[in-house]
Chains A and B, each alone.
Chain A
Amino acid sequence: MNNKIKRIFPQLLTILFVVFVFGFFTINAQVNMDNRGIDFGFGFLSQEASFDMQFTLLDYDGQDSYLWAYVVALLNTLLVSFLGIIFCTILGVVIGIARLSQNFLIKNSAAWYVEFFRNIPLLLQIFFWYYAALRALPLPENAQPWFGVTYMTIKGYYIPSMIWENLNIFMSCLIGAIVAIIFIRIYAKKIQEKEGKQLPVFYISLALITILPLFSFLIGGVTLDFEIPVLKQLAKTSFIYEGGISLPPELIALVLALSLYTSTFVAECVRAGIQGISKGQKEAAASVGLTPNQILKLVIMPQALRIIIPPTTNQYLNLTKNSSLAAAIAYPDLVLVFAGTALMQTGKAIEIVGITMLTYLSISLAIAALMNWYNKRIEIKEK
């Protein structure tokens, strides 16, 4: 009995303490807000936002509500995080492997890259890519085309937009091809386990994913046209490109800075992962006759991934949270639009900062959950 009390009592005390601390802050905030005539509530979310945004993925207009402005700004944040995670992973894996190269030049340039980008504050890098690199870009009227039809200018990167006809047929062909590939892989694995025969899965997949969508063009009535950006004069010395898609320089600078910075950390995770596998594994695999490619793919990587994934997850979370530095260079992300403009116009500081914090928390937890699931999948199955 006495033992039980000893166990429960401290826990009860902790809970009480937490409740009281929260209660105190809530009551205090309420009292102070009452004194200053500030109302608390989320009614503002349905009011007209009445400000515009520079870059949106979905249709947004100032007549829409603050709630819609929140959704659109959130998507901008997710876009930057998504692009940043993809690029930093590709770059990080390449640099990480390069650091282990036998070639002196490759090894040392990779090491310099990591030390350089890792040790400069991210905000400075964002400013550098935005202001220094931006100033170096040509004005629209002086821009030389890249790949014939795209233009990199100080006002953004202009690329042709695609005009589809019967896009849904093309998409169903594409999805069909992917599903077929998944089935073939499962089948190939079965065959290999049963008969020890290896099917050329890669070539079959490649054929499927090119041929099926190609058929949709030939017989499915799918057409694809490109709208190419055209130079337009606004005033004597002021030009823009019209038509096509324009990627704002703010987005480009932000993705560039975030991926370059975070890729150094990912590269270190990759290097640590590969170096964490003992040499004996490689030698044993070689002694049973596996080729160097097979060794990396079948023996080293599956084990290294277990070491790489958990710290890399942290880097993904960091990248997502760091994307809030967008506010410094006018990229309309959640912090700039919602915790900036919307907060200012409504004065609902507690509500808006609360929502923004919860949103970042949810994004981070979602990424962590996804990575944990992947980690579980590749973890050693104890039999």
Chain B
Amino acid sequence: MFKHLKQLTSLFAMIAVLFAFTTEAMAKKSKTLKNTQKKGFVRCGVSQGLPGFSNADASGNWTGIDVDVCRAVAAAVLGDANKVKFTPLSAKERFTALTSGEIDILARNTTWTLSRDADIGLTFVGVNFYDGQGFMVRKSSGITSTSQFKNGISACTNIGTTTELNMRDFFNSRGISYEPVAFEKADEVVAAYDAGRCDTYTTDKSGLAAQRTKLSSPDDHIVLPETISKEPLGPVVRQGDSVWEDIVRWSLNTMIEAEEYGITSANADSMKTSDNPQIKRLVGAEGEMGAAFGLDNEWNLRIIKQVGNYGESYKRNIADTGILPDRGPNQLWTKGGILYVPPAR
């Protein structure tokens, strides 16, 4: 009898310990920064391969403008833009990975919408690419505009994206009956469209431009001029850690504002002696811009030096790779685009 009692007590003790861990975890919330510094790397969720945004080469090096957001954060909080652990995620997995704490930043061409921001425990920190949904068709079909779509058209796309919903709105509002063929992964969509399963492939226009390069003969396909939705793509963090949220937001803002003031990775150091106080603030030569985040004063200088400004990132990843040479709306507000970020001061 006493033997059993002993077993029971140890069981209770075990359970008590387990509960103790949970309560401790509760008390330590909003400590993403601390955890990141302790681990020594930023945990970043990216796509499974979208050229220009997040794509890994043969040796596993990630590049893209989404990747650069995570690198910027790593440069700011750890001092080294390479200290990032990338986790490739499908559209379906991405939010669960973030809310469950598997990653700390989601930079995966994700559209900022009300329901995502409000409902599912996420916070969008900004926009790093202004996009819109479009359609790609075969040139040989003779279709040059979405107004030529007819009843019975089949459209390939991904599941779990705003694309699926926009597509329905678009076809319904025009009274066109269509066949949605929705795959889980982008590569499968490309393969099915390439095989001739669908008449059109619909997703964000940047995605179409990028995926077109994966088709067997890219020149036989065109992206139609119409844009059927607004798709502001941006990095996302978990709700409930406002300091971390601010760090990611201002890392992105720093890159955009650096371009505005002509600070590049090459001239950043020399800008410390600039006459313009705004420039000096961006390279950590004036003010205490890092203290509020718990960072040192040169966090933004490191971002610019190691990752570059937004223009450099765009040129390197999207323009020079031939995906979208024209910056379109993703140009600075001073140059006719809509990139406009609050001042860092």
Contacts and interface: CB of A to CB of B under 8 A. Distances in A.
Instruction: Please determine whether chains A and B interact with each other in the same assembly.
Output: yes
B159 A235 contact: no
Contacts of A52: 164, 167-168, 178, 180
A341 interface: yes
Interface in B103-159: 115-116, 119-121, 137-138, 140-143, 148-150, 152-154, 156, 159
A62 B240 contact: no
B95 A51 contact: no
A272 to B, nearest CB: 37
A31 B180 contact: no
A330 B182 contact: yes
A5 to B, nearest CB: 7
Contacts of B99: 36, 38, 347, 349
A38 B138 contact: no
A16 B11 contact: yes
A36 B240 contact: yes
Contacts of B165: 50-51, 345
A346 B119 contact: yes
Contacts of A28: 22
B239 A37 contact: yes
A240 B179 CA distance: 11
B164 A341 contact: yes
B120 A347 contact: yes
A212 to B, nearest CB: 40
A231 to B, nearest CB: 11
A351 interface: no
B196 A341 contact: no
B159 A234 contact: no
B77 to A, nearest CB: 21
A267 to B, nearest CB: 31
A301 B95 CA distance: 54
A5 B26 contact: no
B11 A238 contact: no
Nearest to A51: B164
Contacts of A238: 138, 141, 143, 153, 199
Contacts of A234: 141, 149-150, 152-153, 199
Contacts of B149: 234
A36 B182 contact: no
A53 B195 contact: no
B29 interface: yes
A131 interface: yes
A37 B238 CA distance: 10
A327 B18 contact: no
Contacts of B239: 36-37
A242 B153 CA distance: 11
Interface residues of A, number: 52
Nearest to A9: B4
B333 interface: no
A13 B29 CA distance: 35
Contacts of A237: 138, 140-142
B37 interface: no
B182 A38 contact: no
Interface stretch (B51-59, B78-86, B184-192, B287-295): B184-192
Contact of A235 (B29, B148, B183, B192): B148
B95 A330 contact: no
Interface of A: 5, 9, 13, 16-17, 20, 24, 27-28, 31, 33, 35-38, 50-54, 62, 131, 134-135, 139, 154-155, 232, 234-238, 240, 242, 248-250, 327-330, 332, 336, 340-341, 343-347, 349
Given A24-B15, A28-B22, A237-B141, 16 more contacts: A13-B4, A20-B11, A24-B18, A27-B19, A27-B22, A36-B121, A52-B164, A134-B192, A235-B142, A235-B148, A240-B152, A250-B181, A330-B182, A336-B182, A340-B159, A347-B120
Interface of B: 1, 4, 7-8, 11, 15, 18-19, 22, 26, 29, 91-92, 95-96, 99, 115-116, 119-121, 137-138, 140-143, 148-150, 152-154, 156, 159-161, 164-165, 167-168, 172, 178-184, 188, 191-192, 195-197, 199, 238-240
11 contacts: A27-B19, A50-B165, A234-B199, A240-B152, A249-B197, A250-B181, A327-B184, A330-B183, A341-B159, A344-B160, A347-B119
